[in-house]
């Protein structure tokens, strides 16, 4: 009987002689057995051979569920077309000049001010020129970060299907366009921004992105006592533009009071941006018992990176990164040939109700207790070192050795910054930052 093994034994000398023919440039002479093998090769039915169809899993199902990292985020084509049309009508050199002023403003307000700070931060008021420069030079990064957060929410909260959305500090409608890509059943949106020029751009972009979606653009945040609360409230990259912490606190509490289900707060991935988010998170947790943190924290305790006695928020702060595909208008604004960039951001997702009870085998509930990587893992020979935020409210350094098991070690080798790690440590972890305490209210 002719078998694949017999075929292999018969053909191997033929292949070897063929290689010799290529190297020595000599003729190949086949004996009777080799000729019979070639005849058998023509008549063999390959469908009878065992097929290898099993796919090799790169990580466990739990680790896959806890994965936050997604590929580079592209802007929707209708949005790109709308922005490109606006840019084409404007002075390109002027857009470039104004965009550089915006970048300088973002850099000057990225660090936590100290007593040694001598340079005054450079702030920008968004008039017609600044709004256009933001659209052409900064909006794609904000869109990618917001899309990542909303994508994580849709993955983690399968029962959450928002019908109404409020975007505070909407700018050119960034969070609204990202929400429109993630959720299909949106029935009504409200965009609030103090800048009339930003709202004008947002209204014009709506004609390209979501012409059928009912959107109200307003300059002021107002909701009557009898009005229904939006299911999803978003404030993306707005807290940093509010001049004082007292005003930030007032606005955050007002946003929470207007939230029907989920509140999303996003800011720049800088020390001051993280501090804004961590304080806003604590404002809501301190004044409400019927609330819990969905992401990124696996706990509802004070943030150890800001409120711990060991905290050094100017050196280690909670932030994440999302890659965005640069459209042509952004590459021209930045005078860059690279078609991608990384957007750094800090965020928190708060939801009404008590923290779900953990059900064994249910990833959706178990994920609330899994540790979150706050830095990129250090993958060494035979072990992986990870700095994680844990359900105890601490920042711990966890080491996952190869001896811990095939599944935990494989998951640790594939894990990325920002992912949830579903396995407990084998050895006692090192506490890098202890539990936070809100008694120290003068934290920057």
Q: Is 182 helix (H, G, I), strand (E, B) or coil?
A: helix
Distance (Å, whole) CA 270 – CA 273: 5
Q: Is the peptide bond before 44 cis (omega within 30 degrees of 0)?
A: no
- CB count within 10 Å of CB 244 equals 8
Q: Identify any residues that bridge with 293 across adjacent strands, giving them in sequence order.
A: 350
pLDDT of amino acid 55: 54
Which residues of the chain register pLDDT less than 70? Answer: 1-29, 38, 41-57, 113-122, 223-225, 439-444
Distance (Å, whole) CA 231 – CA 176: 13
Structure tokens at 24: 């020595």
Counting Cβ atoms within 10 Å, is residue 441 exposed (0-12), middle (13-18) or buried (19+)?
exposed
Q: Is 264 helix (H, G, I), strand (E, B) or coil?
A: strand
How far is C-alpha 433 from the chain's CA centre? 24
Taking the CA atoms of residue 80, residue 81, residue 84 and residue 90 in that order, the dihedral angle to the nearest 10 degrees is: -140
Helices of type H across 109-233: 128-137, 139-156, 174-182, 196-209
Q: How far apart are the first and last CA of the chain?
A: 81
């Amino acid at each position: 009987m002719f078998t694949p093994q017999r075929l292999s034994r018969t053909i191997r000398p033929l292949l070897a002689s063929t290689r010799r023919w290529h190297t020595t440039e000599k003729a190949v002479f086949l004996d009777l057995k080799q000729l019979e093998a070639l005849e058998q090769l023509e008549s063999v039915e390959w469908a009878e051979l065992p097929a290898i169809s099993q796919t090799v899993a790169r990580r466990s199902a739990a680790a896959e569920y806890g994965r936050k990292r997604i590929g580079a985020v592209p802007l929707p084509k209708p949005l790109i077309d709308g922005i490109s049309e606006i840019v084409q009508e404007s002075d390109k050199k002027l857009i470039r000049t104004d965009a550089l002023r915006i970048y300088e403003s973002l850099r000057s307000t990225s660090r936590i001010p100290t007593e040694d700070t001598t340079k005054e931060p450079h702030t920008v008021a968004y008039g017609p020129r600044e709004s256009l420069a933001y659209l052409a030079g900064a909006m794609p990064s904000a869109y990618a970060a917001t899309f990542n957060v909303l994508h994580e929410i849709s993955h983690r909260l399968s029962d959450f299907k928002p019908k109404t959305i409020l975007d505070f500090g909407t700018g050119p409608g960034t969070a609204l366009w990202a929400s429109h890509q993630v959720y299909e059943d949106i029935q009504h949106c409200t965009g609030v921004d103090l800048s009339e020029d930003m709202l004008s751009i947002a209204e014009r972009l709506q004609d390209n992105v979501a012409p059928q979606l009912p959107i109200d653009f307003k300059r002021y945040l107002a909701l009557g006592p009898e009005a229904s609360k939006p299911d999803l409230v978003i404030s993306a990259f707005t807290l940093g533009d509010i001049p004082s912490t007292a005003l930030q606190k007032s606005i955050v509490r007002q946003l929470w009071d207007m939230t029907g289900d989920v509140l999303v707060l996003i800011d720049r991935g800088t020390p001051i941006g993280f501090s804004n988010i961590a304080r806003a998170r604590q404002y809501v947790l301190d004044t409400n018992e019927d609330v819990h943190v969905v992401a990124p924290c696996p706990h509802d305790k004070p943030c150890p990176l800001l409120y711990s006695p060991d905290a050094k928020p100017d050196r280690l702060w909670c932030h994440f990164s999302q890659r965005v595909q640069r459209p042509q208008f952004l590459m021209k604004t930045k005078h860059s040939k690279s078609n991608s960039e990384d957007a750094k951001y800090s965020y928190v997702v708060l939801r009404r109700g008590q923290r779900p009870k953990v059900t064994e085998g249910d990833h959706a509930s178990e994920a609330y207790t899994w540790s979150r990587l706050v830095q990129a893992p250090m993958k060494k020979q035979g072990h992986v070192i990870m700095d994680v935020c844990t359900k105890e409210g601490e920042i711990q350094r966890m080491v996952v050795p190869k001896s811990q098991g095939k599944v935990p070690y494989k998951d640790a080798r594939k894990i990325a910054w920002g992912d949830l790690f579903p396995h407990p440590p084998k050895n006692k972890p090192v506490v890098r930052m202890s539990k936070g305490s809100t008694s120290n209210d003068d934290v920057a």
